[in-house]
């Protein structure tokens, strides 16, 4: 009988800012050692995003009532991409709002996960940019 490995993610660890990056961590919502389970997550769009688009700062405020996942989950998923739900490929930029980064040029940013047509990749996305229905947040569901 095959055993399925249980993967735990340290949500308290310092998040990745990228090699040689001029980004720093502004806020990081910790969550202890969390056993990853995609069935406990959901892609969430705010009312603003369902109706069109709005700047990230507005979306960030609307997400305060939700348990958003931090960038450590993004790094985990890049390492274990077989656990990324298939429907996320069409979702656009998957947003990890639990970690806010800052940069002298771009200002406040989050890291987003996206399917580039060949592999999963990530980038920083500025909160002064517009977030629409192709920018869902990853949230925990009860």
DSSP-derived secondary structure for 49-75: HHHS-EEHHHHHHHGGGS-B--HHHHH
pLDDT value for 20: 67
Distance of CA 75 to the CA centre of its chain: 9
pLDDT in tens, 48-94: 899 999 999 999 999 999 999 999 999 999 999 999 999 999 999 99
Question: Closest by alpha carbon to 60, among 107, 21, 22, 104?
Answer: 107
Examine the pLDDT at 3 and tell me if it is beyond 50. no
> 6 in a domain, yes or no?
no
* Phi, psi (degrees; rounded to nearest 5) at 117: 100, -20
Q: Are 86 and 15 in contact (CB under 8 A)?
A: no
Q: What is the mean pLDDT of the chain?
A: 92
> 19 in a domain, yes or no?
no
Examine the pLDDT at 2 and tell me if it is beyond 50. no
Question: Closest by alpha carbon to 88, among 134, 24, 32, 19?
Answer: 134
pLDDT value for 5: 55
pLDDT value for 21: 76
Per the structure, the complete domain to which residue 30 belongs is given by 24-140
> 52 in a domain, yes or no?
yes
Radius of gyration of the chain (CA): 15
Domain count, the chain: 1
> 2 in a domain, yes or no?
no
Candidate from 3-12, 47-56, 128-137 with smallest mean pLDDT: 3-12
C-alpha span between 103 and 26 (Å, rounded): 9
Examine the pLDDT at 115 and tell me if it is beyond 70. yes
Distance of CA 53 to the CA centre of its chain: 18
DSSP label at residue 23: -
Examine the pLDDT at 1 and tell me if it is beyond 50. no
Examine the pLDDT at 28 and tell me if it is beyond 70. yes
Distance of CA 141 to the CA centre of its chain: 15
């Amino acid at each position: 009988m095959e055993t399925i490995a249980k993967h735990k993610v340290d949500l308290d660890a310092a998040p990745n800012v990228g090699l040689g990056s001029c980004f720093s961590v502004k806020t990081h919502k910790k969550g202890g050692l969390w056993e990853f389970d995609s069935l406990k997550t959901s892609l969430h769009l705010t009312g603003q995003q369902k109706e069109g688009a709005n700047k990230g700062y507005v979306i960030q405020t609307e997400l305060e009532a939700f348990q958003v996942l931090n960038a450590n989950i993004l790094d985990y998923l890049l390492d274990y991409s077989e656990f990324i739900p298939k429907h996320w490929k069409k979702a656009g930029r998957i947003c990890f709002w639990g970690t806010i980064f800052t940069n002298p040029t771009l200002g406040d940013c989050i890291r987003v996960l996206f399917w580039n047509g060949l592999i999963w990749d990530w980038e920083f996305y500025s909160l002064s940019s517009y977030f629409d229905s192709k920018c869902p947040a990853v949230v925990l569901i009860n």
